[in-house]
């Protein structure tokens, strides 16, 4: 049985922190699906198509990484594609508390799917998509926060 993990998120846009967690977890899984989830509480700055393309470009040299999207519960998506693991990155204790609660609910919904946490590297602790969007909103340079494959037009 293949070890398949889902790395869910909005990736609006993907950051170097996301990239690092995904690449560092590659030895643990046969396949990682970077899955963009529909989040009814978030308004995206970038289209689904743009986010998927950036993720594809970021991981184009890694055939074991796939990109997809879903609009259901994460555990239901995992069941649909045969994934037994949810991968999450943790930047700090606030992330841990938030992600732990989600993992506990997911475990209640589907005990056969495990959530695994991987801490970010210290240099990526401050990176998140919200900060990147805020920097972009005011015309700042985000190149140090996003993977090199991402070229964000200046009019964003």
Contacts of 69 (CB under 8 A, 6+ apart): 35, 36, 37, 38, 48, 52
Structure tokens at 111: 């005990």
Structural contact between residues 106 and 115, judged by C-beta atoms closer than 8 angstroms: yes
Structure tokens at 25: 């977890």
Active-site annotation holder among 42, 47, 126, 130: 42
The radius of gyration of the chain from alpha carbons, rounded to an integer in Å, stands at 15
For residue 128, give the nearest of 68, 52, 42, 57 by alpha carbon. 42
Active-site annotation holder among 16, 51, 88, 91: 91
Q: Is 42 a catalytic residue?
A: yes
Active-site annotation holder among 18, 51, 88, 124: 18
Structural contact between residues 19 and 58, judged by C-beta atoms closer than 8 angstroms: yes
Q: Is 91 a catalytic residue?
A: yes
Q: Is 124 a catalytic residue?
A: no
Measured distance CA(58)–CA(92) in Å, rounded: 25
Active-site annotation holder among 10, 20, 25, 129: 129
Instruction: Show which residues are catalytic.
Output: 18, 42, 91, 129
């Amino acid at each position: 049985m293949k070890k398949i993990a889902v790395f869910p998120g909005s990736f609006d846009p993907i950051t170097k922190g996301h990239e690092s967690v995904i690449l560092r977890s590659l030895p643990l899984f046969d396949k990682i699906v970077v899955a963009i989830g529909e989040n009814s509480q978030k308004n995206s700055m970038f289209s689904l198509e743009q986010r998927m393309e950036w993720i594809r470009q970021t991981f184009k040299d890694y055939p074991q990484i796939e990109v997809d999207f879903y609009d259901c519960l994460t555990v239901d998506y995992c069941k649909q594609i045969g994934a037994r693991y949810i991968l999450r990155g943790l930047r700090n204790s606030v992330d841990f508390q938030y992600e732990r609660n989600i993992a506990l609910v997911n475990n209640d919904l589907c005990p056969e799917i495990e959530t695994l946490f991987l801490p970010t590297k210290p240099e990526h602790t401050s990176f998140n998509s919200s900060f990147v969007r805020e920097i972009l909103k005011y015309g700042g340079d985000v190149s140090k926060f996003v993977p090199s494959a991402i070229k964000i037009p200046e009019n964003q």
